[in-house]
């Protein structure tokens, strides 16, 4: 019997959950639990971690999971690595639904950096208005550059003071170029720090930066252990039906 664990939290995962429901496939959509009000899904939902590789392997066995689909954010490296290890341990087939990364084009002013620490170092210098388009998890790293005034866009209103001097915009994507252009202009942004998340849901800020001639510090994706990867819902469905 097919019983799928979908590691989600992305636009692609939401589209895949709809496809699974239409196909009548049994599945569990797993949220990491970092969002206070996760979007409802047409398949069963669970929220929270598994307890590392061992906990995930135990879950796969206890729930008789036949297939695992990793449709997490491209920067959810720990979860993706745990999925590879747990599926290897239990012999559970695994596929990743992964967005293709963004590629710099004409008019882009990117400084590509390998990781978060390098992005922090790239902000050395006099005070600027910086849009930290990286979510809330790693904001504390930028406390090392307190001279800047930051803009942060979050899905949920923060419940505690942020570790950096920042204005907060609470909004849920996808965003459009006109809106992000207006946001950057309204806040007088001079540089953007972004993760190379890829996909269409968050690319508006990159297009807006290009239109305004703003520099972008672009953080490369983390390395994930080898796994089978597809870039669309159709590829996952073909794998499930193969």
d(CA 30, CA 46): 5
Please write the tens of the pLDDT for every residue from 53-112: 999 999 999 999 999 999 999 999 999 999 999 999 999 999 999 989 999 999 999 999
How confident is the model at residue 34, as a pLDDT? 63
Task: Provide, rounded to the nearest whole percent, the portion of the chain with pLDDT above 90.
Answer: 86
Q: What is the pLDDT of residue 196?
A: 97
pLDDT < 70 stretches in the chain: 33-37
Residue 173: its pLDDT value, please?
79
For position 214, what pLDDT does the model report? 98
What domains can you pick out in the chain, each with its CATH number? 3-100+223-241 (3.40.50.720), 109-219 (3.40.50)
pLDDT computed for residue 156 by the predictor: 86
Residue 36 has what pLDDT?
Answer: 59
Q: In what order do the strands lie in the sheet with 109-113?
A: 109-113, 215-219, 191-195, 129-133, 149-154, 166-170
Q: What is the DSSP letter of 43?
A: S
**DSSP alpha helix (H) spans, the chain:** 11-22, 52-62, 77-90, 116-121, 177-186, 204-212, 233-241
């Amino acid at each position: 019997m097919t019983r799928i664990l979908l590691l989600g939290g992305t636009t692609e995962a939401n589209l895949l959950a709809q496809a699974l429901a239409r196909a009548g496939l049994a599945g569990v959509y797993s949220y990491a639990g970092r969002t206070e009000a996760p979007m409802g899904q047409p398949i069963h939902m669970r929220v929270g971690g598994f307890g590392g590789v061992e906990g995930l392997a135990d879950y796969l066995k206890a729930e008789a999971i036949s297939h695992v689909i990793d449709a997490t954010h491209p920067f959810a490296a720990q979860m993706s690595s745990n999925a590879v290890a747990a599926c290897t341990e239990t012999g559970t087939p695994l596929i990743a639904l992964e967005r293709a990364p963004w590629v710099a084009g004409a008019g882009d002013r990117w400084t590509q950096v390998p990781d978060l620490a390098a992005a922090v170092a790239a902000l050395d210098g006099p005070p600027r208005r910086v849009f930290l388009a990286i979510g809330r998890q790693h904001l504390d790293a930028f406390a090392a550059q307190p001279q800047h005034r930051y803009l942060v866009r979050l899905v949920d209103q923060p419940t505690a003071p942020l570790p950096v001097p920042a204005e907060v915009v609470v909004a849920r994507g996808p965003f459009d170029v006109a809106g992000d252009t207006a946001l950057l202009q309204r806040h007088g942004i001079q540089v953007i720090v972004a993760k190379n998340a890829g996909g269409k849901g968050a690319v508006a800020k990159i297009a807006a930066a290009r239109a305004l001639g703003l520099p972008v510090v672009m953080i490369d994706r983390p390395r994930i252990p080898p796994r089978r990867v597809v870039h669309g819902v159709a590829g996952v469905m073909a794998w499930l039906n193969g």
